[in-house]
Amino acid sequence: MGYEEELQSEREYVAGLYARLDSERARVKAAYQAALGGTGETVMERDNEVRARHREMKRLNVADYGLCFGRLDSVDGVTSYIGRIGLFDEENEFEPVLLDWRAPAARPFYTATGAQPEGMSRRRQFHTRRRAIVDFTDEVFGKLGEEHGDAALLAALNAPRGEGMRDIVATIQAEQDAIIRLDHPGVVVIEGGPGTGKTVVALHRVAYLMYTQRERMERHGVLVVGPNPAFLNHIGRVLPSLGESDVVFTTTGGLLPGLSATAEDAPDVARLKGSLKMVEVLKSAVADRQRLPSSPIPITMKDVVVEITADVAEWARQEARDSGLPHNEARKVFVEIVTYVLTERAIGRIGKGWLSRSDRESWEDMRSGLIKDLADDEAFTLALDELWPVLTPEWLLGSLYSSPERLAAAGGDPSLHRADGEAWTVSDVPLLDELHELLGRDKRAEEAAAKAEAEARRAEARYASEVLDSLVSRQDHMDDEDHLFATDLLFAEDLAERFEEYDTRSLVERASADRGWTYRHVVVDEAQELSEMDWRVLMRRCPGRSFTVVGDLAQRRSPAGASSWGEMLDPYVPGRWEYRSLTVNYRTPAEIMAVAAQVLAEFAPDVRAPESVRANGVQPWARQLSPEELPAAIEEFVLAEAEEEGTSVVIGPPGVPGTVPASETKGLEYDSVLVVAPERILADGPRGAAELYVALTRATQRLGVLHHEPLPDALTGLKKV
């Protein structure tokens, strides 16, 4: 059969797959609508059914384009088509007509080579546009042919960048596939230089885990932590495009519900806050609020005055601390001890001469009455709030920062002082999270909130009941011309029923709103920037210690970040983390990478730059300008790039109009990049060198540099224009 005949045959087969996909969609949509209008089940059962059908619809919808991207032929004559999702024959539900790319049988599509064909005779890759096959390329094992993936891979790499990261499901390379399918239950560290695809490999690894561990993953979901909102927006389409939606995306500054911090501290302050030494500072700050009275506090009970003395408070404080409970929850122990001592002393004075301890019933009756009196005694409540107050993380940390005296008492560095204690930064988030653990819950506030919520539910239920009553009443008094549809009554019944105790939010909504939510798996990108305190937070979020950690130590800019993976991970998962590296640069052309490698050699001579998989023949350039000429040159670049297909960015040091700092472009990629004032970026020491390295490696096609001062030595090889 000739090429054209084979092409037509493949087009017909893929058209049949789309027909099967459309049939499945229609079936699932009908089931979804039936679930929405279902009757007879409980609210919980109906909502679970609706959610399940909705997930299935989303899984089918992601495959509208690029459904099938290849075919495998085995030496035994078995042909398998590989695609974004799996589909089965309509007549035989056990006969696959399309293999999911994550299925074990699909693995040779990514890993078979001429030297190790894995039982395959041919690999065919389709080039598709929307629902149609444009053409295909073959690799016949055992014969001279293209290296696997070159044609499809280079086409993908040379294509203009869109608004977000694309999945690589059709062009996964063997070294990437080995990491994606790695069978390791603990922490997997993926390190690679710029352009090696470590982020997209990590996301595909999540999709693989969610496919192979569906039930476990769906109950708790996955957390993805990235360096900034722009990066999260950039990668946000990848997992949904692979049919996975039970994923929460956030930055370290967004790990506390209701608080989003984006400001950064000065490097020295960030380093201090990121150290585990801050745990002891916070513990001391909490202990500092557990006070003893400077003089006895008088409390009147039944016309008898008793006192909370220092020795009573000290006994109560020690018992509360020894309970092991968080501060707010240990308050109950403190109150119980103080209450016991005061009531004992009061009873002894009130019953002097007529009440003996042997009369336990009368003694306890009197104690019960005194306890009730104390609960309503304003002086007693004020005393407790002074000696063992209910604390919130925000109030405690804010008051610690704003008071040099309290900082000193807690053993904190004086540089942590600031006038506005609650001007939160990214480095404050793990400290606030630690305080949530140290303080525990404020049960009084929770009880008040629960009471208000219960009242709101009762009001809503009354409204629903009134709707139902009015419809029933209307039915009883209808004229013959009036019409009352059964769906009206069903709606009212459903409305009333839905006020049962059941959370109908999606997993992502519930997890995002719950600080105590724990995830089945966590992905940490740009992980070299995370501090010891950041890791402490993330380990709480995943008790099973199942992580995919992505980073490049050579690109670290945070003074509180990692200098080695072991220093961050060994305290939590000793012997349970696996290291993998990616060495091929799929993003940056060789011409640009040669320039970036010179910068890398200056500040990290022991680190080898990743090897670019392609060259594009476009030389990066540099132009020297006066400060007055700079704005016009930047505008010229922006206008010229607006005429080109693809994306562009201007990166520069802080304070240069029209530029963004390199830190905001980490993990992102653009067709064209203009770097402004590299000499000023580089002037910020090792941190500046890492910033410049990041800036130079964002481009996939073109790189230009504008400078005023002489170029740094590492950039003198740029073409002068």
Within 10 angstroms of residue 590's Cβ, the number of other Cβ atoms is 15
Instruction: Give the closest residue to 536 by CA, choosing from 397, 434, 392.
Output: 434
- Measuring CA to CA, how many Å separate 9 from each of 16, 95, 137, 140? 11, 20, 14, 19
Bridging pattern class, strands 611-612 and 577-582: unpaired
Q: What amino acid is encoded at 57 in this protein?
A: M
Q: What secondary structure, in 3-state letters, does 565-611 show? A: HHHHHCCCCCCCEEEEEECEECCCCHHHHHHHHHHHHHHCCCCCCCE
Token pair, residue 494, equals: 């459903």
The answer to whether 196 is a known ligand-binding residue is yes
Give the integer Cα–Cα distance in Å for 261 and 88: 47
| Biggest distance spanned by C-alpha atoms of the chain | 116
Q: Which amino acid is at 503?
A: D
Please report, for residues 15, 166, 183, 541, the alpha-carbon distance to residue 205 in angstroms, rounded to integers and kept in the order given: 29, 15, 10, 19
Q: How many CB atoms lie within 10 A of CB 499?
A: 18
Is 414 labelled as part of a ligand binding site? no
Our CA dihedral for 660, 666, 671, 675, rounded to 10 degrees, sits at 40
Q: Is the dihedral of CA 189, 192, 194, 200 positive or negative?
A: negative
CB-based contact 673:705 (threshold 8 Å): no
Tell me which residue has tokens 């003074």: 559
Check if the beta carbon of residue 224 is closer than 8 Å to that of residue 200: no
Alpha carbons 624 and 679: distance in angstroms, whole number = 12
Are 391 and 327 within 8 A, CB to CB? Answer: yes
Confirm or deny that 199 is annotated as ligand binding: yes
- Contact present, 420 and 402 (Cβ < 8 Å): yes
198 is in an annotated binding site: yes
Angle between helices 267-274 and 532-541 (to 10 degrees): 40
H or E element, residue 706:
strand 699-707
Is residue 193 a known part of a binding site?
Answer: yes
Q: Is position 192 annotated in a ligand binding site?
A: yes
CB neighbours (10 Å) of residue 209? 22
Annotated binding residues for ATP, written as ranges, equal 192-199
Annotated binding residues, written as ranges, equal 192-199
